[in-house]
Structure formats: C-alpha cells, structure tokens
Amino acid sequence: MDDAATEPSMIDLQDVHLTYDGAREVLRGTSFSLRPGDFRFLTGPSGAGKTSLLKLIYAAHFATSGRVEVFGQDLSQTVASALPTLRRRIGVVFQEFRLLDHLTAFENVALPMRVMGQPQNSYRDDVIELLTWVGLGHRIDATPTVLSGGEKQRVALARALVAKPDLILADEPTGNVDPVMGEKIMRLLLELNRLGTAVIVATHDLNLVRGLKQPILRLKDGVTTLHGPMPAEADASAEATEGAGS
C-alpha cells in the first residue's frame, strides 16, 4: 500500500463557502487537501479569493459553511484560546506585512521565538542567517520605517520561517523583489519543503510557476482544481487574466 495515500492530511477543506458582507461569495464549495511535505502553487484570476483562502487556513477568516481542518482540528469547533498554538505551527507572509515599526528587522524576525519564550542565544544565529539569506544582513538594526516595500517583504518572510513551521503560507512572496532575489526566495522555500515543510505559494507569476515545476491549485469561480506542473512550453493564454489580489 502507498504510504502517501494513507498519510493524514495536514489541511482538509470540504465544500467550503465564504461570503463577505452577506452578499459577495468568494468561495463556492471548494475542496482540497494538503499532506505533510506537499508543495502547491495557488493561482487564479485577480480577485478570485487566493488571499482569502490562505487566511481561512490560518484561521484569520472563518468559512461561512463547509469544513476547514488544519492539523486535524476542525476550525469551526476550535476554541479561540487554542488558535495561537495552532498558528505557531504556520509561517505566513501576507501582502500586509504586519511588522512592528518600533522594532528592528532583527527584533521583528525574532518575535515568534520571543513569544514562545525562547532565550535569544538559542535563535540569534538563525535570525541573522535568514536576514543575510534574503539580502538584509546589513539592515538588521533598521526599523520598518526606513525599509522599502521589498525589504519589508523580506523581513516578513524571514519572520515566517524562523520558527521552522510545519506549514508555510506565502501570498505573492516575490511580488516586490527583483527576479534574482525572487529566485533566491523560492530556492529557500523549496529547500524547506525538501526538508519536510508543506508550502502553499499564491502567485500570479506564471513564469515562476512554469520554472519550478510544482503542482498547481487553480482557484476560479470560487472552486479549486488540482493540476500537475505547468510545462515550460505551455500556452499561457488561458491564464492571461490572472493577477495579484484576494
């Protein structure tokens, strides 16, 4: 028997609907699962609900109906006091970076470790290594008020990775950086995935999707469908309207 087929899902969505303001239906019965060690690109037209879907998984939003299970917990049945523990297993990079302006880049990246009560000597080298990897080794003492949008994005990425989470949710992680840094960021995510971390990357960059040859969750008309890696020579005309957005 195939062990992967019997391995429990890390994420399991069944017939999930999400409606905003009682009117705008973003998700219309989507279902999919993600197992430990999976990598998925999440693609879809602008406004399709990619960001909303990631926030459902992180329990920043809650489904209008249907079941969302994360790490075996039905989020609709999970008490609020248990959510911080669940979220600590997830590294997130959303388009709103949520950095604390009074903290340095080092302190922002170290924040998850401080929240967990870890002594600084246990994570200091990891924080510096991550900031150096994303090209900010010379900016560890800078606050977000003097960082560019791309630099803030890289600080947010390093913060998402520092605690070595079981799951990474990255929303347009290469959207504000140059192609060289974007490739470096994706190599880091792929290496973490190779070591066992599950990853979902929402992106509108179809060149990125083609180049990395990973499975695709396509979100359209409120429903996700799973596709194999996009061939390098694929005609992108069917996806030409894709773009960033929720």
Instruction: Return all residues near 36 (Cβ < 8 A) that are at least 6 apart.
Output: 7, 10, 166, 196, 198
Could you tell me the pLDDT band of residue 1, with boundaries at 50, 70 and 90? Answer: very low
How far apart are alpha carbons 218 and 224 in whole angstroms? Answer: 5
Tell me which of 23 and 52 has the higher pLDDT: 52
pLDDT tens digits along 55-99: 999 999 999 999 999 999 999 999 999 999 999 999 999 888 899
**Please, which pLDDT band fits residue 244 given cuts at 50, 70 and 90?**
very low
Can you tell me the distance from the alpha carbon of 13 to that of 26, in angstroms, rounded to the nearest whole number? Answer: 15
CA atoms within 13 A on the CB side of 238: 6
Q: Output the average pLDDT for the chain.
A: 89
The residue-averaged pLDDT of 14-36 equals 91
pTM of the entire predicted model: 0.87
* Residue % of the chain over a pLDDT of 70: 91
pLDDT, tens only, 161-212:
999 999 999 999 988 888 888 888 898 899 999 999 999 999 988 888 888 8
Q: What is the pLDDT of residue 233?
A: 60
